[in-house]
Structure 1
Amino acid sequence: MPITPPSAIDLSGRLILYVGGRHQHVAHLRRMVEERNGAFVHHDGGVEQSMAKLANQLERADAVLFPVGCVSHQAQSKVKSLCRRFDTPFKPLRSTGIDAITRALESLTTN
């Protein structure tokens, strides 16, 4: 399945919460989302930030992305349960690569 060119993805102001991942990738992910007309917020999955803060961020988010290999099982469970409670779409990512992120962002614009 071909990927939509990144410039063609329009998030229409949606707030994307990214949970976990590698700290050094956050600025690049923020830029990716903002270049696609979205807003970005990051939570480290409970490493340094509290899980209570995660609930507050998730309540405002339009969608949540998290790389399953770079976030604790506890954080994944919390994200899934909160997303179900707030009826917020979430996308578990198999990798932290650009392709996985781009596909996830694209899927948010087609739903």
Structure 2
Amino acid sequence: MTNDQASALDLSGRLILYVGGRHQHVSHLRRIVEAHNGAFVHHDGGVEQSLSKLDAQLERADAVLFPVGCVSHAAQDRVKSLCRRLDKPFRPLRSTGIASIVAALDSVAPARPAV
């Protein structure tokens, strides 16, 4: 994804739930989502927060992202199962790099009208 594509990304107020990951990255991810007109919520994947809280956050979210290397299998399974049941998009991330995050956000953003 080019810088022009990233700057054109508009989440249109969508609530993005990020499950797992490294605590020190959360504020940076929040800034990325908010910079693209989205709202952000984080769940640690069951480390300190209960998985029942994850259910409530997931019900409110418009899309869910999670880094496969930084979240428990139980949390991954729960996210996948609930997202499928509620028909919500989810994106497992192989990398926590900016390009990977922006590409995942672009894939869950509303379609842009063709110009």
Q: Same fold (TM over 0.5)?
A: yes
3-state DSSP of counterpart to 1:17: strand
List alignment gaps of at least 5 residues for structure 1.
none
Cα shift at 1:82: 0.7
1:49 aligned partner: 49
**Count of matched residue pairs:** 110
TM-score (norm 2): 0.91
Partner of 1:78: 78
Superposed CA offset, 1:60-107 (max 9, x none):
000000000000111100000010111110000001111110110111
> Cα deviation per residue 1:19-72 (whole Å; 9 max; x = unaligned)?
000000000000000000000000000000000000000000000000000001
Q: Which residue of 1 aligns with 2:106?
A: 106
Q: What root-mean-square deviation, in Å, do the aligned CA atoms of Structure 1 and Structure 2 show?
A: 1.2
1:87 aligns with 2:87: yes
* Structure 2 unaligned blocks of 5 or more: none
Larger Rg: 2
Counterpart position of 1:14: 14
Q: 4+ runs of 1 displaced by more than 4 Å?
A: none
1:65 to 2:65 alignment: yes
TM-score normalised per structure 1: 0.94
